[in-house]
């Protein structure tokens, strides 16, 4: 089969955008001070020690099937945002520096829980919670946290919460019960049905800003930004697109008269 140069260029660009071929590494936001740089190293070391040997890929076939039933055929495919990528996400959400006083964070589909712990250590948030449907992955998060809390070499958390919280359950069912302002969801392989359900659940939630790996339909949120962040499947380079959505502010007309149907 003959392939013309244009088709080749499109294919190469598509692969590059997917992060499946090597590209220049995606750098996280630069630390503001030498002290922050040292603190990041201490946080990364503490999380690495606490989660050593705890692997989110170890979900059981039944757990993977349950995830697929909710999120779509490939919903159970596992990957994580790495430490530098998490900092990019926190920065997009406005949590990495100068977070709002009432900020709280949730990782929706938190896997083994590293991002939740990192947010608790690194960001000035009132709470950091993870929701995960796989019991095996949830148990990894609980075990990692238990190790972290007894690590005398771990830096003190910037969060005002005593510890992160991990919830075993479906993110769609959990969202109405969560009182969080900021969230992240690794929705890259959610099918259209799941994305539609996610949009409706977010519309009805307290979330004001969310970073996602896929666009989702919403009556209340607008996409306001996009950046690339390092993930476990492309940590060496390229990164993956992360989309920032913010809740639409009500207009004066809407406040006075409500929505018109």
Summarize pLDDT for 23-37 with one digit per residue, the tens. 678 899 999 999 999
List the CATH number of the domain containing 249.
Answer: 3.40.50.150
Asked whether the predicted pLDDT for residue 141 surpasses 70, the reply is: yes
Residue of higher predicted confidence among 187 and 14: 187
Residue 5 domain flag = no
Asked whether the predicted pLDDT for residue 72 surpasses 50, the reply is: yes
Residue 169 domain flag = yes
Q: Which domain holds residue 111?
A: 23-257
Residue 121 domain flag = yes
Residue 92 domain flag = yes
Residue 106: the pLDDT is 98
Residue of higher predicted confidence among 26 and 216: 216
Residue 88: the pLDDT is 98
Determine the distance from the C-alpha atom of residue 53 to the mean position of all C-alpha atoms in its chain, rounded to a whole number.
21
Residue 116: the pLDDT is 98
How many structural domains is the chain composed of?
Answer: 1
Residue 15 domain flag = no
Residue 106 domain flag = yes
Residue 235: the pLDDT is 67
Residue 214 domain flag = yes
Within the chain, residue ranges assigned H as helices are 5-18, 34-50, 61-71, 83-93, 114-122, 135-149, 171-174, 192-203, 252-257
Tokens 């075990």 locate to 143
Residue 28 domain flag = yes
Task: Please give the average per-residue pLDDT across 197-214, as a whole number.
Answer: 98
Task: Please give the average per-residue pLDDT across 192-210, as a whole number.
Answer: 98
pTM of the complete model: 0.87
Torsion of CA 149, 152, 156, 157, to 10 degrees: -20
> DSSP letter at 97?
S
């Amino acid at each position: 089969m003959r392939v013309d140069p244009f088709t080749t260029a499109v294919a190469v660009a598509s692969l590059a955008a997917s992060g499946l071929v090597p590209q220049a590494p995606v750098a996280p936001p630069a630390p503001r001070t030498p002290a922050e740089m040292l603190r990041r190293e201490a946080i990364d070391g503490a999380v690495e020690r606490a989660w050593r040997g705890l692997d989110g890929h170890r979900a059981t076939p039944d757990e993977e099937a349950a995830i697929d039933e909710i999120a779509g055929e490939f919903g159970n495919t596992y990957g994580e945002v790495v430490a530098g990528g998490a900092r990019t996400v926190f920065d997009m959400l406005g949590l990495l520096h100068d977070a709002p006083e009432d900020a709280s964070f949730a990782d929706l589909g938190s896997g083994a829980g590293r991002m939740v712990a990192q947010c608790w250590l690194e960001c000035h948030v009132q709470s950091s919670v993870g929701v995960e449907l796989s019991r095996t992955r949830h148990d990894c998060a609980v075990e990692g946290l238990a190790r972290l809390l007894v690590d005398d070499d771990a830096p003190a958390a910037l969060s005002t919460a005593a510890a992160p919280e991990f919830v075993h359950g479906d993110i769609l069912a959990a969202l109405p019960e969560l009182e969080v302002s900021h969230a992240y969801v690794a929705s890259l392989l959610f099918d259209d049905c799941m994305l539609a359900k996610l949009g409706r659940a977010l519309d009805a939630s307290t979330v004001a800003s969310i970073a996602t790996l896929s666009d989702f339909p919403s009556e209340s949120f607008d996409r306001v930004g996009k950046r690339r962040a390092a993930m476990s499947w492309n940590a060496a380079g390229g990164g993956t697109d992360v989309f920032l959505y913010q809740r639409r502010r009500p207009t004066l007309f809407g406040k006075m008269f409500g929505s018109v149907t």
